[in-house]
Copies of this chain bind each other. A is one copy, B any other.
Amino acid sequence: MPTSQGKVLIAQGGGPTAVINQSLVGAVLEARRFTKVTRVYGALHGVRGIINEEFVDLSEATNHNLESVAQTPASGLLSTRDKPDVNYCREIFKVLKAHDIRYFFYIGGNDSADTCRIVSEESQTEGYDLRVIHIPKTIDNDLKVTDHCPGFGSAAKFVAQAFIGADLDNRALPGVYIAVLMGRHAGFLTASSALARTYPDDGPHLIYVPERPITREKLLADIASVYERLGRCIVAVSEGVADPNGNLLVESDEKDAHGNVQLSGTGALGDRLSSWVKAGTGIKRVRADTLGYLQRSFLGCVSEVDQREAREVGEKAAHYAIRHGLSGSVAIRRIGNYAADYILAPLSAVAREAVAMPDHFLHPNGNDVTPAFIEYVRPLVGTLPTVTRIVAPPVVKILNKEAQK
């Protein structure tokens, strides 16, 4: 389909990731190669910046600056939590039209895909020539169509490295260690902690995700059982875990901007589980960490696979829109074990609804993942550093006294 001469506008929405700027830079650098692209604008603060016309002219950014930005985590163009409705999208559309924007790229999750869908429909209704591409991004890995989401692999790698370290620490000073991970509805990130296991007794020993309800009784029985066997226990739990009635286990009356119970940025769930374990099992050393924003923002922990794919979904967005005249959502397809290619899904197929972990990734016991999940996730995190235990024979005792317990 022939496409118009005009400007490109790109923006970033929702929570940042370690590689979201790779997608930004991929789209910008590819877009700048097309002569029919007169300018490449970036909107600051996502859709809110579009309405405010807070644009920077990325045509004038140097390649080196952009390549350095690509290596920088979090949204280089800044972000927003605004979820546009139809009226908001009409305002967006007016601004796009006023600035002769003919290609609009929005990097984000399912809400951002929905914004793209509405803006695209608006342009069709108005007969204005506009291509709209949703570029996927989320550490939650909960988008439809795509095999997995850019941003997830790096967050999963952070989680795996955190658990490898926590497990070594807990072996040195044993006890129960509970780590609370991001994931309101989808347990992918929490489940990725399973990549921390090398030796058979490595943690995490128990993994709880929002897809499987848990009860206090089951949790305590599970932990007591592991502790009896190993003298220690590492637990990975999603912030969004709920009981069989669907009630969140976290106690909090804080609501976020969308009226949801605030889960991130508080240690409430970890502390609650910790006090349950202390009271319910009699185990003395119980510690809980909430990994918090580090999961998506920590500098210096990036999956090289995730980095490459985040770059390519951005590059593909430019080609789909400008070369091929298409609108849609870029999705990743898995080929063998492991390569990836890219397809363009209809915006409506990705918008709004999120996905949870499929059943065959979760162990029937409700406290672990399956080998199928490990096979799915391993190639996405790239190379993990290895750890080693001392291999040396025991020495025969001479005095055979026992230390006072």
Q: Note all chain B residues with C-beta closer than 8 A to A266.
A: 267, 270-271, 274, 287-288
Q: Contact between A399 and B267 (Cβ–Cβ < 8 Å)?
A: no
Smallest CB–CB gap between A203 and chain B, Å? 12
Question: Could you tell me the distance between the alpha carbons of A397 and B94 in the complex, rounded to whole angstroms?
Answer: 13
Q: Contact between B57 and A390 (Cβ–Cβ < 8 Å)?
A: no
Q: Contact between A274 and B265 (Cβ–Cβ < 8 Å)?
A: yes
Q: Contact between B75 and A299 (Cβ–Cβ < 8 Å)?
A: no
Chain A interface size, as a band, is: 35 or more
Smallest CB–CB gap between A129 and chain B, Å? 18
Which of A166, A168, A171, A398 counts the most B-chain CB atoms under 10 A from its CB?
A: A168
Question: What are 27 sample pairs from A and B whose C-beta atoms fall under 8 A apart?
Answer: A16-B173, A42-B390, A48-B403, A51-B403, A56-B390, A58-B392, A60-B393, A61-B391, A61-B392, A69-B390, A71-B385, A72-B389, A73-B168, A74-B172, A76-B390, A80-B173, A95-B398, A95-B399, A98-B398, A161-B299, A169-B297, A265-B289, A287-B293, A290-B292, A291-B294, A299-B385, A299-B387
Which residues on A are within 8 Å of B, measured CB to CB? 12, 15-16, 41-42, 48, 51-62, 65-66, 68-69, 71-81, 91, 94-95, 98-99, 161-162, 164-166, 168-169, 171-173, 177, 254, 257, 264-268, 270-271, 274, 278, 284-294, 296-301, 385-395, 397-403
